[in-house]
Amino acid sequence: MTIDFTDWTLVFDLDGTLVETAPDLHAALNYSLEAKRLGPVPIQEIRMMVGDGAKALIRKGLLWHEKDIDEHEIDATLWPRFLDYYRNNICRFSHVYDDAQMTLDSLAQAGATLCICTNKPQVLAEEVLRGLNINHYFKSVLGGDMAVSQKPDGSHLAETIALAGGQLSQAIMIGDSETDERAARDAGLPFVFVSFGYGQLSGEPFNALQQIDHWRDMNTALTKLANAV
């Protein structure tokens, strides 16, 4: 059962929380690394690298190959190559998680304001949402390159909520990583952790925390946190 979420702002991470994007990110990373004649990074490794933005993903891919990090090379060659491939194939394999769209419908009907806070670049986040035809659900979308400071800085969440016309005192963060958890802590928000994504929890005590293993359990977790505020 979903409570009345009028005046509540629900802030969702994108990759690994709302959308399974790992297959397309996997292809783009490996295409980028081919410029250095490096072999593919296995997708099971990439799933644990996602969450801090594409440049960070490239750095992690280089480290997986035990290569030195050259920021100029990333900016001049690997990053543009990644972007070019990813933009042209952005929703080739990506998909919304099972029951996510149905849940978004129910939350919107319950009065919630929905928004996206992601470390993904703004233009790529918007292209994913449009490509999967779910952009209309979200009052605001704030990518890492457009925020003053990106997650795990809580100001990224605060900016996203403000853009949606919401208040920190009635907001909940939903994400799949320690980065998301730390952002929620920093902003003073309750947090729903989705275990099916690309990261893990810090293991530190967190009273305002619910964990779910499937999107069908989202409404129950959100309701528990909202009732506890």
Q: 22-88 adopts what CATH topology? A: DNA polymerase; domain 1 (1.10.150)
Domain ranges of the chain: 9-20+95-228, 22-88
Q: 9-20+95-228 adopts what CATH topology? A: Rossmann fold (3.40.50)
Residue indicated by tokens 């994504």: 197
Give per-residue pLDDT as tens, 97-109: 999 999 999 999 9
Give per-residue pLDDT as tens, 155-175: 999 999 999 999 999 999 999
Closest CA to 209 of 198, 197, 228: 228
Give per-residue pLDDT as tens, 35-73: 999 999 998 888 888 767 788 899 999 999 999 999 999
Element (H, E) at 171: strand 171-175
Q: Which of 4, 7, 13, 68 is catalytic?
A: 13
How far is residue 210's CA from residue 109's CA, in Å, rounded to a whole number?
22
Pull the structure tokens for residue 111: 């009065």
13 is annotated as an active-site residue: yes
